[in-house]
């Protein structure tokens, strides 16, 4: 019998042992109410007992007004009040046939009733007792529940996953092969700890899973518990901290006590940065409730018995704010990075999410994976769900490429806003603006090719130009960054050339271009004038915000040179883009007019208008795409 079955049996035995006590208590309370009601019944009239001979004499003398015969007992009232002062009397009347004849002769009104038994008396009090019981159930039980909550305030709020539910295994997790290999050793230890202990090896006490939001950190921890077939306690970091001092530390102690009782098991703390932030980084006092909770967590992890079989897995997307004591060896021994999936990982993730979705036979998941650079696992799940909803809305029997393409646009830029009223003048401005981006992205040799161009408003964008890389890249050269900035300026250049004015539609493009050039100079060391230097040091004062406290470790003269370099690079990019657009004015006008007619153009239609793109660093389309992709979208 497993530990879980033993625990269930103990809970059932405890419930069975408490049932007789509750039943006996209810019977005692019910009997007490009956007894009190029978004694202290309101408006109960006094009954005087008399003998049968006295009763016959009262009847003959005409002193009885009425009589009630109940089995062998007779009740009545003295009409004159001479004998019982007008009060009720009762008499034991034997079976006397002459009694009814005597009552008839004396013209006394009488009636016969069955005997009022104890059961009937009890039943007469049932409505009142039921009302009292409901009051007791509502108020007393409420007070007991409140008392239990007060007593369990320091209890952990961790939820224990049941093995009866559908388990999550590594088959449900895709795109993180390296992370699964790292965690496989944890699973082996939970299944067979003697394998490591006999050689003197110690399993890591804690595993920190780091990655951007939506990459599957929580799902990965659940899969580890499902593969190892052990209890799984899950809790969020914010569940530890309360407004009362000491509650967080108490909950940490209770969580680890519960885990040790169910060992071997896994504790999963999601968003651990809520409780594990670096200490003494605030402006006020350093001894607060969060720090007490963190101190208790550090103490519990340091006191872990490696033979207990309790492993702590924590997830965060902010490892930079965690306290160094939490990350030292002996606490979180391993750090596993779960990054945005590459094209192969995206294809595997899509295969997981389409298991319950009906797809057309002509859908190629490799094409969908290539069109979704930068998508996380959560984005891909949302993509498949959006496509299924669109197909159901259109009363289709299966999801086609059309729904998947539209779902990609919805996830990246938001839903279409065809109902938005846009004047013809503004629509023309948007068409030429996006055509400027497209022409520069098409003719510059080191830019990503244009996949789609649209002037249909989506989200906050009035139009967008979507570029998708042909291969995954981990680094970018200076020339690629320069050309990226040039493409970003293409919308503003087209506005100035064709309309002789500037609009607010390029504000987002200008912001991204300025930030990119600033990083080129201050972070990447790509300025010929300033040299290979990193300028501007960031302090890790996490409570103040890193951008606010960015330390300026250079002089005013260097700051002036940075501004001059930024202005020079942006102006050079502007002149380069202006020259390309002026040399292709006819093609831009044709592209803009076609865009005004169709509103959306794909890569083939764009190439038909602009001609073949002179790309130099991109492999042919039929070659396999390798590693990591990035997406570049310019929006108005």
Find the helix or strand (DSSP H, E) in which 74 lies: strand 73-78
Number of neighbours of residue 34 by Cβ within 10 angstroms: 17
Burial class (CB in 10 A: 0-12, 13-18, 19+), 536: middle
Q: Which of 297-301, 483-487, 526-530 has the highest mean pLDDT?
A: 483-487
The answer, yes or no, to whether residue 243 has pLDDT greater than 80, is: no
Return the ∠ at Cα 205 (arms to 199 and 208), rounded to 5°.
Answer: 130
What is the residue-averaged pLDDT of the chain? Answer: 75
> Which pLDDT score is estimated for 179?
84
Average pLDDT over residues 167-183: 83
**Range in 19-28, 191-200, 221-230, 381-390 the model is least confident about:** 19-28
Q: Is 484 strand, coil or helix?
A: helix
Q: Is 602 strand, coil or helix?
A: strand
Average pLDDT over residues 268-277: 85
User: Are 376 and 341 within 8 A, CB to CB?
Assistant: yes
**Range in 398-412, 508-522, 581-595 the model is least confident about:** 398-412
The answer, yes or no, to whether residue 28 has pLDDT greater than 50, is: yes
The answer, yes or no, to whether residue 19 has pLDDT greater than 60, is: no
- Name which residue leads in pLDDT, 281 or 203: 203
Average pLDDT over residues 318-346: 86
Average pLDDT over residues 593-610: 88
517 pLDDT band, cuts 50/70/90, is very high
The answer, yes or no, to whether residue 281 has pLDDT greater than 60, is: no
Backbone φ and ψ of 210, nearest 5°: -115, 140
> Which pLDDT score is estimated for 27?
67
Structure tokens at 292: 């007490």
Tens of pLDDT along 37-47? 555 554 455 66
The answer, yes or no, to whether residue 573 has pLDDT greater than 80, is: yes
Tell me what percent of the residues of the chain surpass a pLDDT of 90. 11
> Which pLDDT score is estimated for 633?
42
The answer, yes or no, to whether residue 347 has pLDDT greater than 50, is: yes
Q: Which of 252, 636, 234, 287 shows the shortest CA–CA distance to 463?
A: 636
> Which pLDDT score is estimated for 498?
92
> Which pLDDT score is estimated for 187?
80
The answer, yes or no, to whether residue 544 has pLDDT greater than 50, is: no
Give the residue numbers marked as catalytic: 434
> Which pLDDT score is estimated for 623?
40
Number of neighbours of residue 217 by Cβ within 10 angstroms: 26
Backbone φ and ψ of 128, nearest 5°: -65, -45
423 pLDDT band, cuts 50/70/90, is confident
Average pLDDT over residues 605-628: 61
User: Are 499 and 453 within 8 A, CB to CB?
Assistant: no
Q: Is the peptide bond before 264 cis (omega within 30 degrees of 0)?
A: yes
The answer, yes or no, to whether residue 160 has pLDDT greater than 70, is: no
The answer, yes or no, to whether residue 22 has pLDDT greater than 70, is: no
- Name which residue leads in pLDDT, 31 or 424: 424
- Rounded CA-CA distance 522/373 in Å is 27
- Rounded CA-CA distance 458/480 in Å is 28
Average pLDDT over residues 514-540: 83
- Name which residue leads in pLDDT, 624 or 474: 474
The answer, yes or no, to whether residue 113 has pLDDT greater than 50, is: yes
pTM of the model: 0.64
Backbone conformation region of residue 263, classed left if phi is above 0, alpha if psi is from -120 to 50, else beta: beta
User: What structural domains and CATH numbers belong to the chain?
Assistant: 3-40+123-151 (no CATH), 47-116 (3.30.720.210), 159-337 (3.40.50.300), 349-413 (1.10.8.60), 424-635 (1.20.58.760)
**How does DSSP classify residue 533?**
-
> Which pLDDT score is estimated for 172?
82
């Amino acid at each position: 019998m497993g530990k879980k079955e033993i625990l269930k049996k103990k809970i059932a035995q405890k419930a069975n042992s408490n049932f007789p006590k509750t039943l006996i208590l209810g019977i005692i309370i019910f009997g007490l109410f009956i007894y009190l009601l029978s004694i202290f019944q309101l408006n109960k009239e006094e009954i005087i007992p008399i003998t049968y001979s006295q009763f016959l004499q009262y009847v003959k003398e005409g002193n009885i007004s009425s009589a009630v015969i109940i089995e062998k007992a007779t009740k009545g009232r003295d009409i004159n009040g001479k004998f019982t002062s007008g009060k009720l009397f009762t008499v034991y009347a034997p079976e006397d046939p002459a009694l009814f004849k005597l009552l008839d002769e004396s013209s006394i009104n009488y009636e016969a009733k069955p005997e009022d038994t104890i059961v009937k008396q009890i039943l007469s009090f049932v409505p009142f007792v039921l009302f009292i019981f409901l009051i007791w159930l509502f108020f007393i039980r409420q007070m007991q529940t409140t008392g239990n909550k007060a007593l369990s305030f320091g209890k952990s709020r961790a939820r224990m996953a049941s093995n009866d539910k559908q388990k999550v295994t590594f088959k449900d997790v895709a795109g993180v092969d390296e992370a699964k290999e790292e965690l496989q050793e944890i699973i082996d230890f939970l299944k067979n700890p003697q394998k490591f202990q006999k050689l003197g090896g110690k399993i890591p006490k804690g595993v920190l899973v780091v990655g951007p939001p939506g990459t599957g950190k929580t799902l990965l921890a659940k899969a580890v518990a499902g593969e190892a077939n052990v209890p799984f306690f899950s809790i969020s970091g914010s569940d530890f901290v309360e407004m009362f001092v000491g509650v967080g530390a108490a909950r940490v102690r209770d969580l680890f006590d519960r885990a040790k009782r169910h060992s071997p098991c896994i504790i999963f703390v999601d968003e651990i940065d809520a409780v594990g932030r670096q200490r003494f980084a605030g402006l006020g006092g350093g001894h607060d409730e969060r720090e007490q909770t963190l101190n208790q967590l550090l103490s519990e992890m340091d006191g872990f018995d490696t033979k207990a079989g309790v492993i702590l897995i924590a997830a965060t997307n902010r490892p930079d704010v965690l306290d160094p004591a939490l990350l030292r060896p002996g606490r979180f021994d391993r750090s596993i990075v779960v990054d945005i999936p590459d094209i192969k990982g995206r294809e595997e993730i899509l295969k997981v999410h389409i298991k319950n979705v009906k797809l057309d036979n002509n859908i190629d998941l490799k094409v969908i994976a290539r069109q979704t650079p930068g998508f996380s696992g959560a984005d891909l799940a949302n993509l498949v769900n959006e496509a299924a909803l669109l197909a159901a809305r259109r009363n289709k029997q299966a999801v086609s490429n059309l729904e998947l393409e539209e779902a990609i646009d919805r996830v990246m830029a938001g839903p279409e806003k065809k109902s938005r009223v846009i004047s013809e003048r503004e629509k023309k401005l948007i068409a030429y603006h996006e055509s400027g981006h497209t022409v520069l992205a098409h003719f510059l040799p080191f830019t990503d090719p244009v996949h789609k161009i649209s002037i249909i408003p989506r989200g906050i964008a009035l139009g967008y130009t979507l570029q998708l890389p042909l291969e995954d890249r981990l680094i970018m050269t200076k020339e690629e960054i320069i050309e990226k900035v040039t493409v970003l300026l293409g919308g503003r250049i087209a506005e100035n050339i064709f309309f002789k004015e500037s609009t607010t539609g390029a504000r987002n493009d200008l912001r991204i271009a300025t930030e990119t050039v600033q990083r080129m100079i201050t972070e990447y060391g790509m300025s010929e004038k300033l040299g290979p230097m990193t300028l501007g040091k960031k302090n890790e004062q996490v409570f103040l915000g890193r951008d606010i406290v960015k330390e300026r470790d250079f002089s005013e003269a260097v700051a002036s040179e940075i501004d001059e370099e930024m202005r020079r690079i942006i102006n050079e990019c502007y002149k380069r883009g202006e020259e390309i657009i002026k040399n292709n004015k006819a093609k831009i006008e044709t592209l803009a007019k076609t865009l005004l007619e169709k509103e959306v153009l794909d890569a083939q239609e764009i190439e038909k208008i602009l001609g073949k793109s002179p790309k130099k660093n991109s492999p042919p389309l039929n070659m396999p795409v390798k590693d990591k992709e990035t997406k570049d979208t310019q929006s108005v």
